[in-house]
Structure 1
Amino acid sequence: MELLLPRSPREFGSAGYWARFFRQRGERPFEWYGALPELRAALRRYLRPRDKVSEGRGLPPPPHPTPRGARASSPGRSRRPRCSRPASQVLVVGCGNSELSEQLYDAGLCEDIVNIDISDAVVRQMRERSGSGRPKMSYVRMDVLQMGFPDGLFQVVLDKGTLDAILTDEEEATLAKVDRMFAEISRVLQVGGRYLCVSLAQDHVLKKAVEYFSQEGWVVRIHEVASSGDKQQFVLPIFVYVMTKFKKVPGLAPQILEICPEEQDKPIRVESAEQLVEAVKDRQHYALLRSQLSKACSGEQLSLDLCSRDGGKPRYTLHVVDSPSMKPSRDNHFAIFIIPQGRETEWLFGTEEGRRQLAASAGFKRLVTVTLHREQHYEGMEGIQAELSGKVMELAPPGLPARQQVPFLSVGGDIGVRTVQHRDTSPLSGEYVVEDVKGDDKYYFRRLVFLSNRNVVQSEARLLAPVPLPGQKKRRKDRKKPNPTELPSAIDKSYLCCEHHKAMVAGLCLLGSHDSLPGAPLMVLVVGLGGGSLPLFLHDYFSQARVAVVEIDPSMLEVATRWFGFSQDDRMQVHVSDGLDYIAKLATEASAQYDAVMFDVDSKDLTVGMSCPPPAFVEKPFLQKVKTILKPEGVFVLNLVCRDTRLKESVLATLREIFPLLYARRIDGEVNEILFCQPSPKGPRDPTELLVRAQALEGALRQPGRPWDSSYVLADMLQAVKIL
C-alpha cells in the first residue's frame, strides 16, 4: 500500500513511479481532483457543442513517439503536417485510469478524444476497458513533453492534475520541464483552442501557468469549480485554468486576465498576473475558513472580505464570533449583525473583545458582524440582506436546524449615514478621507481617516446644526424622511471627541499654578496636528496660552484648516517640520521654555507593535531633549498606543529613568494610555489632591457665555490615574 504514495514529490514526474502506481492499484479508477459530477458545469461551459467535430471526421492513425536515435524537433519549432488533417476535439494529457474521458464520452459532452499517458500499464488497461464501445476514443502511450502529434491538431487540451504532478518544485530543471510541456501543448492546439488544466492552484503552479500563457498573449481565466454538497476529498477548492490560444502580437493588445468564482457566471477582469494569483489565494482562504467554521464553535474569531463583482474591491468585512459557552436553543444558533456606517471603529464593533461582548449580549452561539466599506453604495437594510443572504449561510454553525430563519440585526434598524467630503493622497500619510458620519444619537461627526489603517480614526470633531449642501434645495417642513446628504458643516470647537484628548487636557492640573491656570500665560508645544481639535481647545479655553504645533505633513495643515475649522493667529502657530528635528533644535537654543509638551503623533510603520508615537520619539537621548525644554514644574504628556507588552515595558522604563514622577491613565475601551511625566519629583502624589485640582480647573474653564460640553468632567479623567 505504501507504494501508492511517492517517497518525494519529484516522483510524481517519474514514469517509473506511475508504472508501479497503476500496477499496484489495478483496475480501480484513480480520480485526481474529482470526477465528472464535480467538473461537469465547468467543462460543459468550455467544451461547447459548437466545438464538436462533425460525424464524418475520424481520428488520424495514432502517432508514435520519436524512436531513439531519431532527431526530434525542439519544443519551440513549428512542425507542420505534410498533409491536411481535420482537427480533433480533445487531447487528454496524463489520463491515468481516470473515468473522466469515458464519462465525457458517454454524456455526449465530447466524443473525439485522444488520451495519452507515459505508463504502458495504464494505456493497455484503458484500451481494454473502453474496447469497441467508444470507437472515437483512443489511448496512446506518449510523453506530454515530446508529443508526436502534428501542429494545431486539437481544439482542447485537457489536463487533470498532470501539471500539478510535474511542477513539484521551483528548481531550474523542473521549470524547464514545464516550459517544454507548455510549448508542446501550445504547438498541438489550434489558434482559438483552449488548454483546460484542472488544478489545486498551489501558489507556484498557478503563478508559473499564468505568467507563461499571459506573456504568450493568451487569454487567461481561472475558473473555480463549484463544490458539491458531498464530503470533499480536498478542503481547498478545485480550479480550472482556461487558457485560450491567440496569436502573439507584441504591443497591440493588453493582457486579458480573469477569475470566475464558483458562485457567479460572469468573470471578473484583473489588471495583472499578481492580482490574479492573489484573487485565487482569497478563494482558497475562504474555503479553509468555511471548513474551519463547519466544525464545532471554537471561540476563535475569523474574518474575511467579500468583494464587489465589479472591480473586485472589498464590499463587506465579516467577523465570525462564536460563543461556545452559550447553551443552545432553537432560536439562538445564528444571527447577522450589520454595523452602521461610520461606527466600525468603535470598541464594541472594532475590537475582538468588543465583538465578543456584542455576541454575548445578542444571545447567539454564532454572530457574524458585517462592516460596510466607505467606497461602496448600499440600498438600505433590505438591499444588504438580499446581497448577503446566500453567502452568509455558508458560514452557519453546525447543527443549524433546516429552514431556520436567520435574523439580521443592527443598531436602530438602519445602516447609518456616511458622506465622504474629501479624498486625497499625501506623500507622507498616503491616501486619506475626510468623512461625515452619524453617531449613535442626533449628532454628526467629521473624521479624518488614513486608509492605510482604515479602522482607526485619526481625528474627529462634532458638527453643529445641519445646513444644506451646495446646490441642494431646502427641505420642506412637512417632509418626514431625513435626507442623508443634508449634513452639518460647522465645527463645534468646544467638544473634544477623543477621550485621550480629554485626558491630555486634564493633565494640565499637574502644573504648579493651577488656581490661575486658564488665565496664566502658558507656553504649550503640541507635536502632531491631525484635525487640530486639541490645540484649538487649548487656544480657546486657556486665554493666555501660546500654542506651538509641530506637524511634519503639510497636507494635514490644509485638511485641518479647510475641514476642521483650524486657524492660526498670534497665539497659535504651526511649524511644518519633523518633531524630532524641531525639538532637538529647541534644546540647543534655550532650556525650560515650555509649561507643557504634548505628543499626539502616529507612526506610519504598521509593522511595529507601537502605533503612537514612532519609536524614535521615546528613545532616551530624545526624551532627554524633551526634558530640557520643559520648565521644572512643567508636564510632558504622551499618548501611547502600544500592543507589544515587552516594548511598552521598555518605554515605561526609559521614561522612569528620565522623569522622577510618572502618572498613567488608561482610556477605557481603547489601547491608548496617557502618560503624564514631570521633571520634578514635587508634584502631587495624593489622588484626592489631583481630583481637587481637576475640579478647580474645570470650574475656572466653565465661564458664562462660553460653551462647555457637560459630558466632559475633568475629575473623571483623573479618577483612574496611577503613579508608576
Structure 2
Amino acid sequence: SWLLRYHHIQTSKSFALPVFAFVFTKITMKTPLIEIQLYNNADNNWLRFNDLTEALNAIKQCQMTCFRKYDFKQKFVAGSETPVIDLYAENNQNNRRYQMIVVNSVTKYRNKPFAAFIVPKSRNLDWLYSTPAGRQQIIASAKYTTVAFIYLQSDEEYRDLEQVKSEMTSAVLDFKPVNLSDSLQIPFLSSSEGIGQVVVRERSASFIIEDCLYGSDNEWKRRLRFDSNPNLIQSEINLVSNKTTNDLIPDYSTLENDYHGVIVAGLKTHFLATENAQPTDNWLLIGLGGGVLTMKLIRSFPKAHLTGIDIDSEMVRIAKTWFGLDDTLTTCIVDDG
C-alpha cells in the first residue's frame, strides 16, 4: 500500500472547478493512507482517509461547494440562500468548528450590500435563526442585501466575538458578491448575547446533552439532541438553581414547551369535562426520550399510575441522570413498545 497525497491546486479568481493533483510517494504503508489538502497555503490542513471512496466523496463535496458558491455569487436571486456550509478548524479537520448559511434578502439595499451575523451558541435552533423565514426577518430588520449567518458549535470553545471575526473573515469574503471590492470591510453583526453560552454535560456518538443560557436574565435550559437529527431538540426543560448545592436542576413547575402544554391542557380539559379531574387510571407512555413529558404528566396527574417504556436503556439513564425522572413515581421498562 502507498501513501497518496491530493493537493488542491491554486486557481485564478475566475471560476474553475477545483483540481486535485495526486502524488505517489515512496513511502510504503501497512494499510492505505490517503491525505487530501482542501485549502491552499495550509500545510497542516489535511483530511486523512483509509478508504478511497470516502476520499473521493470529500473531493466531490469540495467541488460541489465551489459550484454552489459560484452560482450564488454570480446572480442575485431574491430570497435565496446557500445550503449549510461546514467549516473546520485548520489544525483539526475532524471537528466542525462553524457552520454558515449565506442568505439574499428579498429586497436590495444599495448602501448596505453585505454583512455577517454571528448567531449565539444557545440560539442555533431558535426559529429566528434555523428557518428561512426567520433569517429573512433578521435581514429585513438589519436592512442588508446579503447576510452570512455564522453558527457556533456547542462543543467548541470561542474566546469572544473578535476571535470569531478573525477566524471567519476569509470564509465570509469567499461569498461576497462579485461586484464588491476585495478590500471590503465586512460588518459583523451580533445580538446582545454575544457568542452565547452552552455547557456540554454529556456527549456520545449518538447524542448530546447541553445546558444553554438564554437572554440576559440568566435563564438556563437543558436539552437533548441526537446526532442523527441535530437540528431537532428531542427534550428540553427549564433549569433552576438548587438552593443547597447551587447546581442547576430541572424545573417542572412550568410548561414552557408548547407541545407538552397542549398535551397536558388537552388531558385536563378532557377529565374536567368528565368530572374526573384527578384520574387514577393506568397510563402507558411509549418512548421516554428525556422523560420531560413523563414528569409533567406525573406532576399534573399525581393519582394516575404511569408506566414509561423505551427500547433504549440509555434513554432511561439519561432521563434519570439529567432530566430528573423520578422512578419512584413511575415505572420504567426497557423494551420495544
Please confirm whether the aligned pair reaches a TM-score higher than 0.5, indicating the same fold. Answer: yes
User: Which stretches in structure 1 are left out of the alignment for 5+ residues?
Assistant: 1-214, 426-430, 470-486, 580-724
Residues 306 and 317, structure 1, Cα contact 8 Å, conserved in 2: yes
Residues 121 and 195, structure 2, Cα contact 8 Å, conserved in 1: yes
Q: Which residue of 2 aligns with 1:257?
A: 34
Match of residue 329, structure 1, among 110, 133, 143: 110
Q: Which residue of 2 aligns with 1:435?
A: 210
Match of residue 71, structure 2, among 292, 296, 300: 292
Residues 381 and 415, structure 1, Cα contact 8 Å, conserved in 2: yes
TM-score, length-normalised on structure 1? 0.43
Matches of residues 170-319 of structure 1 in structure 2 within 5 Å?
Answer: 215=1, 217=2, 219-229=3-13, 231-232=14-15, 235-246=16-27, 248=28, 253-266=30-43, 267-272=45-50, 273-298=52-77, 299-303=79-83, 304-312=85-93, 313-319=95-101
Deviation of 1:238 (Å) = 2.0
TM-score, length-normalised on structure 2? 0.90
Three-state SS of the structure 1 residue aligned to 2:97 is: strand
Q: Are residues 423 and 300 of structure 1, via their aligned partners in 2, closer, same or farther at CA, if it must alter by over 3 Å?
A: same
RCO higher in structure (CA 8 A, sep ≥6): 2
Q: Does 1:414 align with 2:194?
A: yes
Three-state SS of the structure 2 residue aligned to 1:314 is: strand
Q: Are residues 512 and 276 of structure 1, via their aligned partners in 2, closer, same or farther at CA, if it must alter by over 3 Å?
A: closer
Match of residue 366, structure 1, among 146, 149, 170: 146
One-letter amino acid of the structure 1 residue matched with residue 48 of structure 2 = V
Q: Which residue of 2 aligns with 1:113?
A: none
Three-state SS of the structure 1 residue aligned to 2:123 is: coil
Higher helix share: 1
Residues 496 and 533, structure 1, Cα contact 8 Å, conserved in 2: no
Residues 463 and 488, structure 1, Cα contact 8 Å, conserved in 2: no
**How many Å separate the matches in 2 of 1:468 and 1:295?**
60
One-letter amino acid of the structure 2 residue matched with residue 333 of structure 1 = P
Q: Which residue of 2 aligns with 1:448?
A: 224
Residues 264 and 300, structure 2, Cα contact 8 Å, conserved in 1: no
Three-state SS of the structure 1 residue aligned to 2:250 is: coil
**How many Å separate the matches in 1 of 2:191 and 2:141?**
13
**How many Å separate the matches in 1 of 2:137 and 2:237?**
27
Deviation of 1:498 (Å) = 2.2
Residues 459 and 530, structure 1, Cα contact 8 Å, conserved in 2: yes
Q: Are residues 308 and 468 of structure 1, via their aligned partners in 2, closer, same or farther at CA, if it must alter by over 3 Å?
A: farther
Q: Are residues 415 and 408 of structure 1, via their aligned partners in 2, closer, same or farther at CA, if it must alter by over 3 Å?
A: same
Q: Are residues 274 and 372 of structure 1, via their aligned partners in 2, closer, same or farther at CA, if it must alter by over 3 Å?
A: farther
One-letter amino acid of the structure 1 residue matched with residue 204 of structure 2 = D
Number of matched pairs: 331
Deviation of 1:386 (Å) = 0.2
Q: Are residues 467 and 439 of structure 1, via their aligned partners in 2, closer, same or farther at CA, if it must alter by over 3 Å?
A: farther
Residues 463 and 492, structure 1, Cα contact 8 Å, conserved in 2: yes
Matches of residues 497-646 of structure 1 in structure 2 within 5 Å?
Answer: 497-514=256-273, 516-569=275-328, 571-579=329-337
Q: Are residues 399 and 466 of structure 1, via their aligned partners in 2, closer, same or farther at CA, if it must alter by over 3 Å?
A: farther
One-letter amino acid of the structure 2 residue matched with residue 349 of structure 1 = Y
Q: Does 1:465 align with 2:241?
A: yes
User: Hey, which bits of structure 1, 4+ residues long, moved more than 6 A?
Assistant: 466-469
Greater C-alpha Rg: 1
Residues 444 and 488, structure 1, Cα contact 8 Å, conserved in 2: no
Residues 209 and 222, structure 2, Cα contact 8 Å, conserved in 1: yes
Deviation of 1:366 (Å) = 0.7
Deviation of 1:503 (Å) = 0.8
Residues 301 and 322, structure 1, Cα contact 8 Å, conserved in 2: yes
Residues 114 and 144, structure 2, Cα contact 8 Å, conserved in 1: yes
Residues 291 and 319, structure 2, Cα contact 8 Å, conserved in 1: yes
Three-state SS of the structure 1 residue aligned to 2:233 is: coil
**How many Å separate the matches in 1 of 2:97 and 2:243?**
30
One-letter amino acid of the structure 2 residue matched with residue 264 of structure 1 = N
**How many Å separate the matches in 1 of 2:244 and 2:306?**
34
Deviation of 1:567 (Å) = 1.0
Q: Are residues 509 and 463 of structure 1, via their aligned partners in 2, closer, same or farther at CA, if it must alter by over 3 Å?
A: closer
**How many Å separate the matches in 1 of 2:244 and 2:219?**
16
Three-state SS of the structure 2 residue aligned to 1:377 is: coil
**How many Å separate the matches in 2 of 1:531 and 1:496?**
15
**Deviations for 1:316-340, whole angstroms, at most 9, x for unmatched residues?**
11111111x413222x111111111
Higher strand share: 2
Three-state SS of the structure 2 residue aligned to 1:294 is: helix
**How many Å separate the matches in 2 of 1:239 and 1:444?**
47
Q: Which residue of 1 aligns with 2:173?
A: 393
**How many Å separate the matches in 1 of 2:260 and 2:249?**
20
Three-state SS of the structure 1 residue aligned to 2:166 is: helix
Q: Are residues 416 and 556 of structure 1, via their aligned partners in 2, closer, same or farther at CA, if it must alter by over 3 Å?
A: same
Residues 208 and 227, structure 2, Cα contact 8 Å, conserved in 1: yes
Deviation of 1:450 (Å) = 0.7
**How many Å separate the matches in 1 of 2:92 and 2:182?**
35
**How many Å separate the matches in 1 of 2:182 and 2:243?**
50
Residues 268 and 277, structure 2, Cα contact 8 Å, conserved in 1: no
**How many Å separate the matches in 2 of 1:329 and 1:446?**
42
Deviation of 1:358 (Å) = 2.2
Residues 212 and 222, structure 2, Cα contact 8 Å, conserved in 1: yes
**How many Å separate the matches in 1 of 2:19 and 2:107?**
36
One-letter amino acid of the structure 2 residue matched with residue 260 of structure 1 = Q
**How many Å separate the matches in 2 of 1:550 and 1:292?**
50
Deviation of 1:223 (Å) = 0.7
Residues 271 and 279, structure 2, Cα contact 8 Å, conserved in 1: no
User: Which stretches in structure 2 are left out of the alignment for 5+ residues?
Assistant: none
Deviation of 1:362 (Å) = 2.1
**How many Å separate the matches in 2 of 1:309 and 1:301?**
25
**Deviations for 1:519-538, whole angstroms, at most 9, x for unmatched residues?**
34244322221111112112
Q: Which residue of 1 aligns with 2:126?
A: 346
Residues 295 and 325, structure 2, Cα contact 8 Å, conserved in 1: yes
